[in-house]
Structure 1
Amino acid sequence: MSKKPIIIDTDPGIDDAAALAIALFSEELDVRLITTVNGNVSLEKVTYNTLRLLKLFEKNISVAKGAERPLIEDPIDASNVHGETGMDGYEFEEPDNSLLLEEHAVTAMYKEIINSDKKITLLPIGPLTNIALLFRLYPEVKENIEEIVLMGGSSGRGNSSVMAEFNIHADPEAAKIVFSSGLPIVMAGLDVGLKALIYPEDSEQLKDMNKTGHMIYHLFKKYRGGSFNTGLKMYDSCAVAYLLKPELFETIDTYVDVELNGAMTKGATIVDFKGYLNKESNVRVCVDINAEEFKKWFIDSIQKCN
């Protein structure tokens, strides 16, 4: 079976670390490039974190540093959830900086996509700034993109504001560009992330499983995406799970847009399940997940890591 070529755009982040581990050790995915974006913490920190993870995983994947701020808005972060460094709780070795490309993430993505003999899938699990810039600067890449499977958005309430999920709220203008790109998009947002829980007994399994499990266990002890005792939310791993095991999800194809003008709703994803807007579907929205099967898949996937 040929591997699916993907580019991961990320902002590690504790749940990003778990998602990256699963993707990088999957036998079904060919991770061509990892790009970083300002999000959970600053661009410098998320890039450093990505390189530290690659050192731990013993993977030689090129990394390109992307946008250090949103297109228009002032930056926000989620250090209250992930800790000051973005990956508090584990002592990593110093990374191999030779994996860091000199060129900007958008240039690196352009080259990888345009020169690929197979269509590339984009897996953005942070704010969508880099992807929006890619489409604005190099719209021709769309012809060689298979689909976008992203972690972000919500069909209901938010986790960064009353109505907005963090990744979309962090750069709503970028999200609007991506959702209106005309490409096939899968949105794995809060609807499934809030149900994709890892409980204390699951974390205990990870602790002595392998090097990666040991690292994730210690990060989870510091993670505030939920509670270590009552269940930690694996938002980003849901996007990877959709790529590898889509049967875990219930989905609805519908029209999605991003609110930019609401004083209290900016960054909200408007998910038009009932067709009020009379627009054609542009997004496959994950609305539910088999939580028990997801948990088994997550633990099995970490077991395959180093």
Structure 2
Amino acid sequence: MKKRPIILSTDPGIDDAVAIALALFSEELEVKLICPIFGNVSIENTKANTEKLLTLYQKKPKIVMGSSRPLLREPINASEIHGESGMDGYKFPDPTIFTDNTQTAVEAMHEVVEQEEKTTLVGIGPLTDLALFIHLYPQDLAKIEQIVVMGGSLGRGNYGVLSEFNFAADPEAAKIVFNSGVPIRVAPLEVGDQAKIMPKVAAKIKSYGEIGEMIYQLFTKYRSGSFEAGLNMYDALAIALILKPEIFELAETRVEIETAATYTYGASLIDLNNYLSLPANAEVAVNVEAQLFEQWFIDTLARTAK
């Protein structure tokens, strides 16, 4: 079976660390490139965290550093959720896999896309680098199978009243992505709230060798949901949307990103009722079958122990 090539733009981050593992240990995906970007924590931390993770995972996709700030605004962060470093709670071995500093993330994306028949872009942080790629290499868009993102919300936000963190971190970039004409799938905030990892699942993951222990220890420090009542798995949904779309209820709809207003800056207008009378530009997950997600999650992470 030919594996599907993907490029990951990510800001690890605890749930990013798990999403990266799910992609790297999948039997169906080939991670060609990982581009750490500012977001949950600073670019210096997300770069260091990516190097630590790949060293622990013993996987060697190319790492190229992404953007350190949004297109227009000042950077924000989510260190109150993920801890100061982004992955507090585990003593990682010294990295032996390092970032390639000879090119930009966008140049590296172009290089991969040129070489592959079709590539999927995955954005589980701010969408700055995906937007820059779309802007600088429009000739590549015909070779993008789809863009899969975790971001936005069906209703209320987790950063602003109506804005979700990943899109709020760079609303202009999100707008460019949704206006690209490329097929897009979206896992919004509320679906991550459905896809909880419960204590018994975390305990099972703990038994999966050193990687399982690492994930378990990070989970104990993760402050999205609670360790007792269930942790919200947001970024893992993007990987599930590629591999297990059948476990989601998907709505083909219009997504617009608010970039002009003050109080709603960064909000995603997911137009499920077609108020805007605009053509659909995305498939948005509105529900996930939580038990099927949990089973896929456990089965994939179990491969880390082999």
What is the TM-score with the length of structure 1 in the denominator? 0.98
Alignment of 1:175-194 (within 5 A): 175-194=174-193
Q: Which residue of 2 aligns with 1:264?
A: 263
Deviation at 1:115, TM superposition (A): 2.4
Deviation at 1:101, TM superposition (A): 4.0
- Aligned letter for 2:16? D
Is the aligned partner of 1:278 residue 2:272? no
CA contact 2:65–2:99 (8 Å) conserved in 1: no
Q: Which residue of 2 aligns with 1:297?
A: 296
Alignment of 1:55-204 (within 5 A): 55-116=55-116, 118-204=117-203
Q: For 1:171-210, what per-residue CA distance to the aligned partner results, in whole angstroms no more than 9, with x for missing partners? A: 0000000000000000111121111101111111111222
Q: For 1:197-225, what per-residue CA distance to the aligned partner results, in whole angstroms no more than 9, with x for missing partners? A: 01111111111222211110000000001
Deviation at 1:300, TM superposition (A): 1.2
Unaligned 5+ residue runs, structure 2? none
- Aligned letter for 2:252? D
CA contact 2:3–2:30 (8 Å) conserved in 1: yes
Q: For 1:15-37, what per-residue CA distance to the aligned partner results, in whole angstroms no more than 9, with x for missing partners? A: 00001001001110011111111
CA contact 2:208–2:304 (8 Å) conserved in 1: no
- Aligned letter for 1:280? P
CA contact 1:132–1:175 (8 Å) conserved in 2: yes
- Aligned letter for 2:42? S
Partner SS for 2:194:
coil
CA–CA separation in structure 2 for the residues paired with 1:209 and 1:32: 25
Is the aligned partner of 1:31 residue 2:31? yes
Partner SS for 1:65:
coil
Deviation at 1:98, TM superposition (A): 4.1
Q: Which residue of 1 aligns with 2:7?
A: 7
Partner SS for 1:304:
helix
Is the aligned partner of 1:217 residue 2:216? yes
CA–CA separation in structure 1 for the residues paired with 2:129 and 2:300: 28
Question: Alpha carbon RMSD of aligned pairs, Å?
Answer: 1.0
Q: Which residue of 2 aligns with 1:18?
A: 18
CA–CA separation in structure 1 for the residues paired with 2:109 and 2:93: 27
- Aligned letter for 1:53? L
Deviation at 1:299, TM superposition (A): 1.2
Q: For 1:97-144, what per-residue CA distance to the aligned partner results, in whole angstroms no more than 9, with x for missing partners? A: 44534211011111111222x210001110000000111111111011
Deviation at 1:286, TM superposition (A): 0.2
What is the TM-score with the length of structure 2 in the denominator? 0.98
Unaligned 5+ residue runs, structure 1? none
CA–CA separation in structure 2 for the residues paired with 1:115 and 1:302: 29
